Every structure is written in structure tokens, then in C-alpha cells.
Amino acid sequence: MKLLLFFITLIQGVILISGDNYTKGSALYTYPNAATVAVPYPTTFQENYNGDLKFLVFGDWGQLGKQTGQAQVAAGMTTWANANSTTFMLNLGDNFYQSNNAPKGTAFNNASDYEGVFSETDPKWKSYWLDVYGGQLANITWYSIAGNHDWYNNVTAEVDYFWDIDSRFFLPALYYTRKVTFGNGVTAAFIHIDTNPFYYNYTNYTKVNNMKSNLQTFNLYNDAGTNATLKWLDDQLTAVDDCDWIFVVGHHPLVGDCRLYDPKDYYEMYRLVPYLEKHKVSAYFNGHTHELAVSVANSTSPVTYFGSGAGGASLGSACPNPTWTVPNTFGFLSIYIPADGKTLQYQYVSANTTNAPTQVLYSGTVNAQSATMYFITSLNFYNSTSTIIFL
Ligand SMILES: *[C@@H]1O[C@H](CO)[C@@H](O)[C@H](O)[C@H]1NC(C)=O
Ligand SMILES: *[C@@H]1O[C@H](CO)[C@@H](O)[C@H](O)[C@H]1NC(C)=O
Ligand SMILES: *[C@@H]1O[C@H](CO)[C@@H](O)[C@H](O)[C@H]1NC(C)=O
Ligand SMILES: *[C@@H]1O[C@H](CO)[C@@H](O)[C@H](O)[C@H]1NC(C)=O
Ligand SMILES: *[C@@H]1O[C@H](CO)[C@@H](O)[C@H](O)[C@H]1NC(C)=O
Ligand SMILES: *[C@@H]1O[C@H](CO)[C@@H](O)[C@H](O)[C@H]1NC(C)=O
Ligand SMILES: *[C@@H]1O[C@H](CO)[C@@H](O)[C@H](O)[C@H]1NC(C)=O
Ligand SMILES: *[C@@H]1O[C@H](CO)[C@@H](O)[C@H](O)[C@H]1NC(C)=O
Ligand SMILES: *[C@@H]1O[C@H](CO)[C@@H](O)[C@H](O)[C@H]1NC(C)=O
Ligand SMILES: *[C@@H]1O[C@H](CO)[C@@H](O)[C@H](O)[C@H]1NC(C)=O
Ligand SMILES: *[C@@H]1O[C@H](CO)[C@@H](O)[C@H](O)[C@H]1NC(C)=O
């Protein structure tokens, strides 16, 4: 039944997506039927696009309420996506919050104001997602992961929503890999990971929500569990080693002082970084900290770290020491890889005020693996240039 439903939504998805060549390949993608949704999806999703690759990256968006920036980011991002024929979304998680009208400490499961979703038919699918993001954003696929606020309630329901209701909210499992081919035969791998088991220490987790019980259910509450996930990540990275671009997508930050925003929660995040460096991952995308920030690759790290967690909330004081950041600002990240695949151009865009035009705050370029490898004998090994446009 699940398979049949997925086929129907898949066919609709292909018809709805106009202007690009989206196909999930020839393989038959079936509901994994695994013990839990935390078991990585067993096969790699294949996608083909003509021409350039343009995607928008943002996280931490699903919050209505008086301090929210969700509406203005949605408006700015829709205008941008319409103008640029954006290919797809990279959604960095925290898809459904409790409203920020809720007083601190309010139980997560207040029936009218709660974290995450209760089920795949939760009314928040409509009120927080479908009703908010229009235009091109309603036509394209959102490649998604779950954040801590999703885990606070029923994160399994978010995966089931993909299989049963709408494949445009792409979350076939909490861990999955995509291989994208575009332009002149350029390849880009995206490995979508769930960082919650690496961020929260089960042993002394005390907050009143479902984080702890989910870690238990998913068997990811100790280093035996996280070791298996790291092994999977290592294997995936090895398998996509020949791609021109390798991206890892996770909810929590890995570098910079923001990763220590809540040090007692940091737990095993540090174990992820060596895998990204060893496999020369082009970039890691994260949300969680409600800011726009980039730490560019340098002589000791091949990885560029893109933070984009300002889709609904903004951080009062930006975290110190990235290459660039901006405080108190709602917005998103735009990524553009031309059809020749040699460079990645990024733009951090503010959408701070309702009805005001978006503004590019900061932009830069990252070179492809194959391009940088050419410079292996020079000091120009991991070249990455940045240009301040505003601020
Ligand atoms: C879609 O992409 C495939 C593989 O790149 C290509 O063979 C096919 O012609 C494309 N289809 C359209 C409609 O552009
Ligand atoms: C996207 O659209 C905006 C606004 O129209 C424009 O300034 C920007 O350069 C475009 N970006 C890309 C990557 O096409
Ligand atoms: C649920 O949360 C809302 C928003 O904070 C609050 O107005 C309402 O009183 C709460 N209801 C209960 C039963 O606690
Ligand atoms: C979570 O959501 C799924 C899918 O809607 C549902 O089958 C399951 O019963 C829910 N779990 C709980 C604890 O409510
Ligand atoms: C989105 O898809 C609908 C239905 O196919 C189409 O009418 C509309 O023009 C598309 N919007 C954009 C901004 O591409
Ligand atoms: C997990 O991996 C670490 C590092 O390789 C190792 O020290 C530890 O013993 C492993 N734990 C288990 C339970 O396998
Ligand atoms: C959890 O354990 C860590 C490491 O031992 C400790 O630093 C932290 O204070 C503990 N947190 C709680 C809430 O007990
Ligand atoms: C997790 O918390 C327990 C209990 O406080 C502590 O003993 C352990 O060292 C913590 N683990 C890490 C990796 O911080
Ligand atoms: C290089 O980048 C990494 C990751 O952002 C950072 O931790 C490190 O401090 C940087 N090193 C130098 C020499 O700038
Ligand atoms: C966005 O708005 C906030 C509050 O009004 C302000 O502090 C911040 O500087 C603005 N950001 C930009 C980039 O203008
Ligand atoms: C990186 O590339 C830019 C543009 O090609 C060049 O101007 C710059 O000198 C290079 N940086 C290094 C460190 O070689």
C-alpha cells in the first residue's frame, strides 16, 4: 500500500516540476520496511537536471508566533526562487516548533501548541509548510532532515509523510544519500545525516520531550549506535569519492564557537569532522544556530562550513569567529553551480523585513574537488575566495 501511494505521489511530483529534468532514476524506491526510520536508506537516490544547479538552503523555519521571521523569509525566498528557477530546496531541519508565543518551560505537548508533529496528518503540515511557501517553492522538492524540534515529538511521522502523503517533502529515512548529475555531466553527492544522536547525551538528558525516548527507540543512545552511523557515513563518502562535489547536510553545527553554544549537549559531534576532512567534503550545511555564517576552507581544512539557520528565528548575538556572519538577521543561503561544474557560487541573502526586497549580504566562491586537485602541488590546495558585498 505504501509503495502504491508513493508511486502516485512520485508521478504527480514529476508532472508538477516544470522546467527541470527531475527523475529518481530507474531504480524502484520502496519503503525501507526497516526496524526504525533511523536506519539509513539502503540505496542512493539518482537525480538528473539539465543546465545549472541552483538550490536554496535554510533551516529552523517552522515557527509561527510573534517573534517569527518565517513569513518574511518565505516571501523573500519565493521571489528569489521564482526569478532564478531554483532547482530544489535543502531543508536543514527544525521544521515544526512549538509557537514562540509559548512561555518557556511549557510542556511540549500542549494540545494546541506543541513541538514537531504528532502524526503524518497533523494540521501543521498545512499551516506551517504548504500554506507558507508559494510560487516556485511549492513546485520543487524539499530535501529534508530532522532537527531537534522534530525529534521532540514524532519524527517518525515526518518520514511517513514522505512515503504516504507528499514526496515533495523528501525524507525517505533520517539518513540518505543522493547522487545528482547536471550540466556537462557534473556529479554532486549529497549525504543527508541526522546529527541529533551526536549532539544529545542520552545518559543525562533531562528535558521533558521525546528526544530521549526517540534515541532509545532508534538504538542511537550510546557510542555503539553512533559508531554504526559513522561507519555508514564513511562507506557513503568512499562510494561517492569520484564526484565533482561532495556535500554533507546536517542540522547541528560542526565548527566555530557556535557548536559549543550549549557545551553539555555537544556530546559526540567532534567525531564527525575527521570523516569530512578525510574524504575532502566540499561543504557541510547546518542550521540549529539561528544565524547566517560561513567558515571557508583553508590550508588545514578542505571543508567549507555553511550555516543557515535563520529561516524563522534569528540569533541575538552571532557566534564569534567564522569567516563571516551577521547578527539579528532573518534570511537564507543561495547556491549556484554553473553547468561546467567548476565553481560553486554562494550568496547569503537577508529577508529581514516583510515587503522589503531581499538583499545579498555576503557572497563567495568555492572550487570543485577536481579543480582543487589540479593545484595539489601548490599552496593553492583548497582555494576559496570570498567577497564582502554589504556590511
Ligand atoms: C533528462 O536527462 C536525461 C539524462 O541526462 C536525458 O537523457 C534526457 O534527454 C533528459 N530529458 C529531458 C526531457 O530533458
Ligand atoms: C537570483 O535572483 C536575485 C534577485 O532577482 C538576483 O539578484 C540573483 O543574482 C539571482 N541569483 C542567481 C544565483 O541566479
Ligand atoms: C497552550 O499554549 C498556548 C500558547 O502558549 C497557551 O496560550 C495555552 O494556554 C496553552 N494551553 C494549555 C492547556 O496549557
Ligand atoms: C507517529 O506517527 C506515525 C505516522 O503518522 C504513527 O503511525 C504513530 O502512531 C505515531 N506515533 C505516536 C507515538 O503517536
Ligand atoms: C508552479 O507550478 C504551477 C503548476 O504547474 C505553475 O502554474 C506555476 O507557474 C509554477 N510557478 C512557478 C513560479 O514556476
Ligand atoms: C566506538 O568507536 C570508538 C572509536 O573507534 C571505539 O573506541 C569504541 O570502543 C567503539 N564503541 C563500541 C561500543 O564499539
Ligand atoms: C551531563 O554530562 C556532562 C558530561 O559528564 C556534564 O558536563 C553535564 O553537566 C551533565 N548535564 C546534566 C544535565 O547533568
Ligand atoms: C554523557 O553523560 C554521562 C553522564 O553524565 C557522562 O558520564 C558521559 O561522559 C557523557 N558523554 C560524553 C561523550 O560527554
Ligand atoms: C581552518 O578551518 C577550520 C574549520 O573551519 C578551523 O577550525 C580552523 O581554525 C581554520 N584554520 C585556520 C588556520 O584558519
Ligand atoms: C535585521 O533587523 C534587525 C532588527 O531590526 C537588525 O538588528 C539587523 O541589523 C537587520 N539586519 C540587516 C542585515 O539589516
Ligand atoms: C584563489 O583564487 C583566486 C581567484 O582565482 C586568486 O586571486 C587567489 O590568489 C587564490 N588564492 C590563493 C591563496 O592562491
**How do residues 212-252 score in pLDDT, each as one tens digit?**
999 999 999 998 999 999 999 999 999 999 999 999 999 99
Q: What is the span of the domain harbouring residue 375?
A: 2-390
Q: Is the CB of 329 under 6 A from ligand 10?
A: yes
Give CA–CA dist 223/228, Å, rounded.
8
For ligand 3, the distance from its centroid to the CA atom of residue 105, given in whole angstroms, is 11
**Lining residues, ligand 9, CB within 6 Å:** 255, 295, 298, 300-301, 305
**Lining residues, ligand 6, CB within 6 Å:** 223-224, 227
Q: Is the CB of 201 under 6 A from ligand 7?
A: yes
Q: Is the CB of 46 under 6 A from ligand 1?
A: no
Ligand 8 mutation target, pool 199, 201, 220, 227, most atoms within 8 A of CB: 201
Query: What CATH number does the domain containing 357 carry?
Result: 3.60.21.10
Q: Which ligand 11 atom lies nearest to the CA of residue 383?
A: 1
Q: Which ligand 4 atom lies nearest to the CA of residue 121?
A: 5
Ligand 4 mutation target, pool 108, 124, 156, 216, most atoms within 8 A of CB: 156
For ligand 11, the distance from its centroid to the CA atom of residue 379, given in whole angstroms, is 10
Residue 354 has pLDDT above 80, yes or no: no
The pLDDT assigned to 111 comes to 78
Write the CA distances from 389 to 291, 324, 360, integer angstroms: 18, 11, 7
For ligand 10, the distance from its centroid to the CA atom of residue 91, given in whole angstroms, is 23
The amino acid occupying position 65 is G
**How do residues 280-291 score in pLDDT, each as one tens digit?**
999 999 999 888
For ligand 7, the distance from its centroid to the CA atom of residue 2, given in whole angstroms, is 42
**Lining residues, ligand 11, CB within 6 Å:** 380, 383, 385
Q: Is the CB of 264 under 6 A from ligand 7?
A: yes
Query: Do residues 95 and 70 lie in contact, with contact meaning Cβ atoms separated by under 8 Å?
Result: no
Query: Higher pLDDT residue, 306 or 22?
Result: 306
User: How much of the chain exceeds pLDDT 90, in percent?
Assistant: 64
Residue 92 has pLDDT above 70, yes or no: yes
Write the CA distances from 144 to 134, 191, 196, 302, 332, integer angstroms: 17, 11, 14, 25, 15
* pTM of the predicted model as reported, rounded to 2 decimal places: 0.85
> Which residue has the CA at smallest separation from atom 5 of ligand 9?
295
**How do residues 147-191 score in pLDDT, each as one tens digit?**
999 999 999 999 989 888 888 999 999 999 999 999 999 999 999
The pLDDT assigned to 29 comes to 67
Q: Under 8 Å CB-to-CB from 262, ≥6 apart: which residues? A: none
Return phi, psi of residue 178, to 5°.
-120, 145
> Which residue has the CA at smallest separation from atom 11 of ligand 10?
329
> Which residue has the CA at smallest separation from atom 13 of ligand 11?
380
For ligand 3, the distance from its centroid to the CA atom of residue 34, given in whole angstroms, is 37
Query: Do residues 268 and 226 lie in contact, with contact meaning Cβ atoms separated by under 8 Å?
Result: yes
- Point out the ligand nearest to the CA of residue 229: 6
Residue 30 has pLDDT above 80, yes or no: no
Ligand 11 mutation target, pool 296, 300, 380, most atoms within 8 A of CB: 380
In a 10 Å sphere around its CB, with 0-12 CB exposed, 13-18 middle and 19+ buried, how is residue 154 labelled?
buried
Give CA–CA dist 179/158, Å, rounded.
22
Question: Looking at 27-41, 129-143, 296-310, 377-391, which range is the least confident one?
Answer: 377-391
Ligand 2 mutation target, pool 56, 80, 361, 387, most atoms within 8 A of CB: 80
Contacts 24+ apart (CB under 8 A), 66-70: 66/100, 66/101, 67/100, 67/313, 68/100, 68/312, 68/313, 69/310, 69/311, 69/312, 69/313, 69/314, 69/330, 69/351, 69/352, 70/128, 70/132, 70/311, 70/312
> Which residue has the CA at smallest separation from atom 11 of ligand 11?
383
Q: How many distinct structural domains can be found in the chain?
A: 1
> Which residue has the CA at smallest separation from atom 6 of ligand 8?
203
The pLDDT assigned to 389 comes to 25
